[in-house]
Amino acid sequence: MANGETRARLDPTDMAIVEILQEDGRIGISALGRRVGLSQPATSERVRRLEERGIVAGYRAVVDPTALGLGTMAVIRLRTTHEHIQACLQKFAQMPEVIEVLRVTGEDCFLVKVLVPSPPDLEAIVDGIGRYGAVTTNVVLRAEPPKRLGRELVMR
């Protein structure tokens, strides 16, 4: 873990709550309690503690970008110099098309995931980012749903 952080430990009931909330963040406390075998107050308290610890960091809707006309997804790899790192981060933060930025090791400095309506829109994004260094673009053919954090990983 980074910066001396210790890994959070979950008991089997908390892990079950986390798994269920990942499947259905809109489940009611009573229904959640029934699924894990706890009363409503006990379930509510456990969820509150998971939120306070930052383990449950939020509840979000899953949106289909193609339904909104954003049918082109790409991963842009950027190799830049150390002097441009902060400028790149500021640029990415200002770009609504950028949905994820990963600072990585290796030859590239960033992996930038973007969503745009069409290939010409992607070209404009690539040209704008290309001012900061060498760019390689991979158009995503299909995106599988992200995996949830499972018991096997968390309980190790």
Rounded average pLDDT per 10-residue block, the chain, 156 residues: 63 95 95 98 98 94 93 98 97 97 97 98 97 97 85 72
pLDDT tens digits along 105-118:
999 999 999 999 99
Compute the distance between CA of residue 29 and CA of residue 46 in angstroms, rounded to an integer: 10
- Residue 115, H or E segment: strand 110-116
Report which residue type is found at 128.
Answer: G
Q: For residue 78, list its beta bridge partners.
A: 110, 135
In 25-129 the beta strands, taken as DSSP E runs, fall at 72-79, 98-103, 110-116
Chain CA centroid to CA 39, Å: 32
pTM: 0.81
Q: Which fold has domain 2-52?
A: Arc Repressor Mutant, subunit A (1.10.10)
As assigned by CATH, the class of the 65-139 domain is alpha beta
Query: Where do the domains of the chain lie?
Result: 2-52, 65-139
Token pair, residue 57, equals 């960091």
Q: Quick check: do 2-52 and 65-139 share a fold?
A: no
